[in-house]
């Protein structure tokens, strides 16, 4: 039995070899391998997060504006302003083209709206020039129209 154990242990014994133990870092921050890819990935993740934050803030602002424009008070104010501007434009047109219209060529006429906007107009040769300025005095719109198009 001893001989079987000795013979069995000879067959099972193998030669052991050893290599040099080498330690390497897996992180590109320490090893340098793949460093540029590592940095670009981190930069891209940071930029995506910043963009997401900006997009979320803009979405919140847009939602608040939509909610405000959906209120009954906003709709009422908008409708009232539209009607006032329609009346004002009718009065201006009557002053320019109606019977007894006495506007002189080249002279500016102004009218102030209830909202503080100032509408100015003048007739010069065959054109009418209109300018609309807000309550701060900043010009909002300017346009000119040929008089011949208003003939009835």
Give yes or no: residues 133 and 88 share one domain. yes
Per the structure, the complete domain to which residue 132 belongs is given by 72-150
List Cα–Cα distances, 133 to 86, 92, 103, 110, 130, in angstroms.
17, 16, 21, 11, 10
CA dihedral (75, 70, 119, 114) positive or negative: positive
Give yes or no: residues 59 and 83 share one domain. no
Q: Has residue 123 been placed in a domain?
A: yes
Beta-carbon contacts of residue 53 (< 8 Å; ≥ 6 apart): none
Q: Has residue 43 been placed in a domain?
A: yes
Give yes or no: residues 126 and 145 share one domain. yes
Give pLDDT tens digits for 35-89: 778 888 999 999 999 999 999 999 999 999 999 999 998 899 889 888 887 887 7
pLDDT band at 152 (very low <50, low <70, confident <90, very high): very low
HEC string of 43-59 equals HHHHHHHHHHHHHHHHH
């Amino acid at each position: 039995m001893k001989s079987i154990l000795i013979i069995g242990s000879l067959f099972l014994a193998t030669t052991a070899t050893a290599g040099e133990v080498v330690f390497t870092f897996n992180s590109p921050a320490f090893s340098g391998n793949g460093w540029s890819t590592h940095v670009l990935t981190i930069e891209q993740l940071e930029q995506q997060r910043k963009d997401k934050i900006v997009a979320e803030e803009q979405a919140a602002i847009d939602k608040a504006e939509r909610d405000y424009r959906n209120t009954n008070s906003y709709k009422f104010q908008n409708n009232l302003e539209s009607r006032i501007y329609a009346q004002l434009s009718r009065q201006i047109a009557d002053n320019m083209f109606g019977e007894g219209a006495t506007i002189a060529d080249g002279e500016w006429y102004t009218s102030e709206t209830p909202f503080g906007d100032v509408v100015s107009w003048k007739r010069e040769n065959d054109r009418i020039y209109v300018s609309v300025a807000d309550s701060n005095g900043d010009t909002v719109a300017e346009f000119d129209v040929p008089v011949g198009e208003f003939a009835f």
